Amino acid sequence: MTALPRNITFDCADPWLLVTFWSQVTGYQEDPENPNQPGDPEQYLPGPGGQPGLLFIPVPEPKTVKNRVHLDLVPTDRTRDEEVERLLGIGATLVADHRRSDGTGWVVLADPEGNELCIERSDAERAATG
């Protein structure tokens, strides 16, 4: 037997802020029969096509150390660098830039509450460089 992830859960101070940010990052849409509202005790984005959902739960304590788990994201319709710029424009911050001169590498960003995420090269970029 195996176990599959149902949700990826974010402990956070402001679930509404993060559900809004991560919806823009992933394109995940809220459940129209159970929409997210500001002030709800939790916020949720179901994952499409059997992918894990994103669940945002308020906790009283702030984030104080580096994440032990983070998402590695691959852009589907743009390059890694275009995706980095897009996410910086919607509220992400740059944590570390690991891009190399040969086009490989990744970028570490943080969401509005400091949760790290990595942006890798798109499948098309990987295919172009072998």
Q: Which of 78, 81, 111, 79 lies closest to 97, judged by CA? A: 81
For 74-109, write each residue's pLDDT tens digit: 999 999 999 999 999 999 999 999 999 999 999 999
Q: Examine the pLDDT at 130 and tell me if it is beyond 80.
A: no
> For 13, which DSSP code?
S
Q: Residue 68: its pLDDT value, please?
A: 85
Q: Residue 66: its pLDDT value, please?
A: 82
| Boundaries of domain holding 9 | 1-62
CATH of the domain at 74: 3.10.180.10
Q: Are residues 25 and 75 in the same domain?
A: no
Q: Which two three-digit tokens encode residue 69?
A: 């788990």
Q: Are residues 83 and 49 in the same domain?
A: no
For 26-74, write each residue's pLDDT tens digit: 999 999 999 999 999 999 999 999 999 999 999 998 888 888 889 999 9
> At 40, which helix (H) or strand (E)?
none
Look at the chain and report how many structural domains it folds into: 2
Where is the domain boundary, 62, 81, 102?
62
Q: Residue 92: its pLDDT value, please?
A: 98
Q: Are residues 46 and 73 in the same domain?
A: no
Q: Are residues 44 and 83 in the same domain?
A: no
Q: How many residues does the chain have?
A: 130
Share of the chain above pLDDT 70, in %: 99
Q: Are residues 80 and 42 in the same domain?
A: no
Q: Are residues 76 and 44 in the same domain?
A: no
> Tokens 């400091």 map to which residue?
114
**Cβ–Cβ < 8 Å for 11, 36:** no
Q: Residue 129: its pLDDT value, please?
A: 83
Whether the full predicted model's pTM is greater than 0.75, yes or no, is yes
Q: Are residues 130 and 111 in the same domain?
A: yes
Q: Residue 72: its pLDDT value, please?
A: 97
Q: Are residues 58 and 91 in the same domain?
A: no
